[in-house]
């Protein structure tokens, strides 16, 4: 009977937004995919620091795709990934309670999978000279923002000066040429920062989003 119970536990389908315990090589089933922790790595901090950074490797498998994602201690943002045009978030370390909105801690053998709701762009926050990013490629489920333009706000609406071809076009048209129309609008906060001088790293501009030179205005994902 114990063996049968173990099999039934392995076949259990977990719900989104609920705390789930995981272990190395244990496969967790969710309605749209399975997730399996395949590796746990500890790396000493820089300059012989006493603390260690822990990285957890997970394999996401669905009917259409299979890829690896990672989560590390010390990260501010959790890991997002996309399957069949739906975005999910792997929350570890801490999570925001959906009822109280307070942040609660998670043990390092616990995770939460959040099915991310579609977010609408807050257009009234956007100003002329804001920078808008879009994605035309993904890698292992991660969205890579690899194209950008500058916003011009007029009485007729929001327009984008695209840095690839310098053609002004409505924001809606510009965003429609990216994957799932996902865009993120940022504002330059440093007078020394020149958007013309930035360069792609690993094929994307994602690294800029954590810098002190830009602040998030609004996004639709």
| Residues 116-163: tens digit of each pLDDT | 877 789 999 999 999 999 998 877 667 789 999 999 999 999 999 998
Nearest to 134 by CA among 123, 145, 143, 126: 145
User: Quick one: CA dihedral 160, 200, 204, 127, positive or negative?
Assistant: negative
- What is the share, in percent, of the chain residues with pLDDT greater than 70? 89
- What's the N-to-C CA distance of the chain in angstroms? 46
Query: Does the pTM of the predicted model rise above 0.85?
Result: no
Residue 113 has pLDDT above 90, yes or no: yes
3-state secondary structure of 210: helix
Domain borders along the chain are 2-115, 123-219
- The encoded tokens of residue 76 equal 């501010």
3-state secondary structure of 22: coil
Predicted pLDDT of residue 167: 85
């Amino acid at each position: 009977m114990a063996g049968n119970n173990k099999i039934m536990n392995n076949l259990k389908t977990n719900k989104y937004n609920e705390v789930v315990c995981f272990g190395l090589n244990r496969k967790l089933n969710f309605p749209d995919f399975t997730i399996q922790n395949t590796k746990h790595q500890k790396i000493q901090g820089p300059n012989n620091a006493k603390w260690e950074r822990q990285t957890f490797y997970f394999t996401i498998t669905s009917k259409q795709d299979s890829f690896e994602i990672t989560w590390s201690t010390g990260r501010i943002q959790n890991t997002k990934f996309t399957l069949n045009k739906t975005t999910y978030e792997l929350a570890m370390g801490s999570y925001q309670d959906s009822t109280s909105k307070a942040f609660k801690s998670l043990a390092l053998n616990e995770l939460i999978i959040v099915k991310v709701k579609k977010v609408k762009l807050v257009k009234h926050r956007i100003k002329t000279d804001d920078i808008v990013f879009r994605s035309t490629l993904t890698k292992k489920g991660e969205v890579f923002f690899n194209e950008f333009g500058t916003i011009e706000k007029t009485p007729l609406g929001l327009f984008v000066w695209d840095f690839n071809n310098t053609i002004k076009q409505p924001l809606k048209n510009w965003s429609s040429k990216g994957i799932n129309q996902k865009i993120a609008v940022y504002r330059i906060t440093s007078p020394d920062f020149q958007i013309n001088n930035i360069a792609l790293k690993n094929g994307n501009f994602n690294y800029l989003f954590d810098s002190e030179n830009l602040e998030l205005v609004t996004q639709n994902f």
